[in-house]
Amino acid sequence: MTRPALPDWLDPLPDAARMRATDAWAIDELGIPGVDLMDRAGAALASVVERVAPQGTIAVVCGKGNNGGDGYVLARLLREQGRDVRVLVTAPVAELRGDAAHHSALLPGPGPVPFAAAGLHGVTLVVDAILGTGVTGEPRGAARYAIDAIVESGVPVVACDVPSGVDASTGEAAGVAIRAVATATFHAAKPGLWINPGKERSGVLAVCDIGIPAGAPTEPADVGLLTERVLDGLPGRGAASTKFTSGHVLVAGGSRGLTGAPCLAALGAMRGGAGYVTACVPGSLEEVVAIALMEAMTVPLPDHGGALVADGAALVAERAARRGGALVLGPGLGTAAASRTFARGLAAVADVPLVLDADGLGAHAGRVADLAARTAPTVLTPHAGELARLLDTSSERVQAARLEHAHTAAEHAHAVVVLKGDDTLVADPDGRVAISQGGAPALATAGTGDVLAGLVGALLAQGVEPFRAACAAVELHARAGRLAAEQHGPDGVVAGDVAAALGRARLRDGDRGAGR
């Protein structure tokens, strides 16, 4: 299958195979000596090390590949600057080949010594140059021993290219892995440095230019880092706009004790630009929702004890067919068997773009492939636990291999999947993935996912293509979380604050400052 190219609002993140091909092109086709690339990588690594630890003894732990070669360059440069550097190795120097062997021979001062945990005593910083981007799976042998000892030492670590034990392409960490305070990666960031658990083990990321020009004839990346460029050209209200042309969003959900969730989803849709929002909720709870949502319409649906029942699905589908727009299904739905039947029935017959969230996802646990029969676009917005139930696996497995599971769900459901987290992944059925830069801890509070679902619905209702709608919503949501934190502090933010900040989140910084 030929995948569509990444849109220009994503910064491509080449995986390990693409990076190897780029290196080979630079060396074999452009004639850039490999020893020069390694020299530049070591120099860039030295700059990061000097920022992190301007004083004190440095332990550089080198493996036998090119990653170790970068470490030998670093050690040479630091010693030439008068720094006290210990070079500890996980393989004999005699086993080195090529560029790494060349640079190991240039090391001044004391020679490398076999790695031992005692070699870390009294050092200010450890530089991890053990395993490179091409290594996958659980570390073994001398490399495993060194990684274990470094982790147990508690000494701060700067990683070379990728923390050893982290898969550069996926972020997976099979077994033990380095946890760095900073990572110097070369030419371009790799997906695994932005996807957890790799992201949280990489620390502060420095992408270092080592002189490889753009234009490598490699297969285009299918994973990209989400940028604010995704917001350029989004539809907005103009002089001729009406509440109907600004997009209609239906929110279907709610149950006894969970009326806040559909209200927050409706707020997310309204603050996200939808001109007309209708909350379809249990009839016995309609008054509660109507009081909370002065600017939205409400529609009472058949319920039993505050739980929606199957008969209501046709009513919502008919209203969707008449009004158009998008449907957000699941916030506050609850787990009653009748409500789950309602959700499955409505998802199957609603002929408008669908955002399936929260208990709407739970209703499809183990049935994710049923969604592939839908003819209108579908966006799923699970956290790890919800995705695990969809795929009939465990949340631990999802968290350990987030990219794999997001791909699987997108393929099986033929839907865009938004796997939420600080590293939110947006995967589409064509195999493309966007990764959020995160950095909005204020979103770690109940109800913010409902706001996000409503926001996705608003963008879909305004005619934004599903993959872009999901990506733009993730970016706006994070921006709104940061804006809310500026006002309330990250620990004082509640979901309503995030919804209230969505309008400002769409403005550029200068526009916000001018009060426009």
Using CA atoms, how far apart are residues 370 and 360, in angstroms rounded to an integer?
Answer: 13
- pLDDT score recorded for residue 512: 44
3-state secondary structure at position 427: strand
Q: What value does the mean pLDDT take over residues 3-29? A: 95
Report whether 450 belongs to an annotated binding site: yes
Closest to 223 measured CA to CA, from 494, 425, 502: 425
Residue 263 is encoded by which pair of tokens? 């209200």
Report whether 405 belongs to an annotated binding site: no
Report whether 383 belongs to an annotated binding site: yes
> Do 477 and 369 belong to one domain?
yes
Report whether 123 belongs to an annotated binding site: no
Of 224, 254, 281, the residue that ends a domain is 224
Q: 2 or 299, which is more confident?
A: 299
- pLDDT score recorded for residue 475: 98
pLDDT of 106 > 60? The answer is yes
In a domain, 255, yes or no: yes
- pLDDT score recorded for residue 511: 53
Report whether 513 belongs to an annotated binding site: no
> Do 246 and 153 belong to one domain?
no
Dihedral, 80, 81, 82, 83 alpha carbons, nearest 10: -100
Report whether 66 belongs to an annotated binding site: yes
Give tens-digit pLDDT for 469-481. Answer: 999 999 999 999 9
Looking at residue 247, its amino acid is: G
Counting Cβ atoms within 10 Å, is residue 25 exposed (0-12), middle (13-18) or buried (19+)? middle
pLDDT of 53 > 90? The answer is yes
Contact 186, 395 (CB under 8 A): no
Report whether 303 belongs to an annotated binding site: no
pLDDT of 131 > 60? The answer is yes
Give tens-digit pLDDT for 59-101. Answer: 999 999 999 999 999 999 999 999 999 999 999 888 888 999 9
Question: Phi/psi at 7 (nearest 5 deg)?
Answer: -65, 160
Mean pLDDT is lowest, of 3-7, 156-160, 308-312, 316-320, for: 3-7
- CATH, residue 403: 3.40.1190.20
In a domain, 281, yes or no: yes
Counting Cβ atoms within 10 Å, is residue 101 exposed (0-12), middle (13-18) or buried (19+)? middle
Buried-exposed string 63-80: b where 16+ CB fall within 10 A, e elsewhere: bbbbbbbbbbbbbbbbbe
Report whether 128 belongs to an annotated binding site: yes
Report whether 363 belongs to an annotated binding site: no
Report whether 136 belongs to an annotated binding site: yes
> Do 159 and 246 belong to one domain?
no
Contact 504, 513 (CB under 8 A): no
> Residue 11 pairs with which residues in a beta bridge?
225
In a domain, 220, yes or no: yes
Report whether 366 belongs to an annotated binding site: no
- pLDDT score recorded for residue 244: 78
> What's the pTM value of the predicted model, to 2 decimals?
0.95
> Do 220 and 249 belong to one domain?
no
Q: What percent of the chain has pLDDT over 90?
A: 92
Report whether 196 belongs to an annotated binding site: no
Domain count, the chain: 2
Q: What value does the mean pLDDT take over residues 109-134? A: 96
In a domain, 340, yes or no: yes
Report whether 137 belongs to an annotated binding site: yes
> Do 200 and 67 belong to one domain?
yes
> Do 158 and 40 belong to one domain?
yes
pLDDT of 513 > 50? The answer is no
Q: What percent of the chain has pLDDT over 70?
A: 98
- pLDDT score recorded for residue 514: 38
Secondary structure element (H or E) that encloses residue 291, with its range: helix 286-292
Contact 276, 296 (CB under 8 A): no
> Do 167 and 260 belong to one domain?
no
> Do 312 and 442 belong to one domain?
yes
Of 224, 250, 269, the residue that ends a domain is 224
> Do 195 and 259 belong to one domain?
no
> Do 74 and 200 belong to one domain?
yes
114: confidence class by pLDDT, cuts 50, 70, 90? very high
1: confidence class by pLDDT, cuts 50, 70, 90? low
Share the mean pLDDT of the chain.
Answer: 95
- CATH, residue 171: 3.40.50.10260
Give tens-digit pLDDT for 209-264. Answer: 999 999 999 999 999 999 999 999 999 888 888 887 889 999 999 999 999 999 99
Closest to 131 measured CA to CA, from 118, 142, 116: 142
Report whether 509 belongs to an annotated binding site: no
> Do 147 and 269 belong to one domain?
no
Residue position matching structure tokens 């490179």: 132
Report whether 420 belongs to an annotated binding site: yes
Residue 297 is encoded by which pair of tokens? 């319409």
In a domain, 256, yes or no: yes
Q: What value does the mean pLDDT take over residues 344-356? A: 98
DSSP string over 217-252: -SPPPSEEEE-GGGGTT-----TT--TTTT-EEEEE
Of 192, 224, 256, the residue that ends a domain is 224
In a domain, 3, yes or no: no
Report whether 428 belongs to an annotated binding site: no
pLDDT of 516 > 90? The answer is no
Range of the domain at 46: 10-224
What is the separation of C-alpha 262 from the centre of its chain, rounded to a whole number of angstroms? Answer: 25
In a domain, 442, yes or no: yes
Neighbours of 124 (CB within 10 A): 16
Report whether 98 belongs to an annotated binding site: no
In a domain, 230, yes or no: no
Report whether 386 belongs to an annotated binding site: no
Report whether 67 belongs to an annotated binding site: yes
pLDDT of 515 > 50? The answer is no
Report whether 254 belongs to an annotated binding site: no
> Do 150 and 30 belong to one domain?
yes
- pLDDT score recorded for residue 508: 63
Report whether 164 belongs to an annotated binding site: yes
Give tens-digit pLDDT for 287-342. Answer: 999 999 999 999 999 999 999 999 999 999 999 999 889 999 999 999 999 999 99
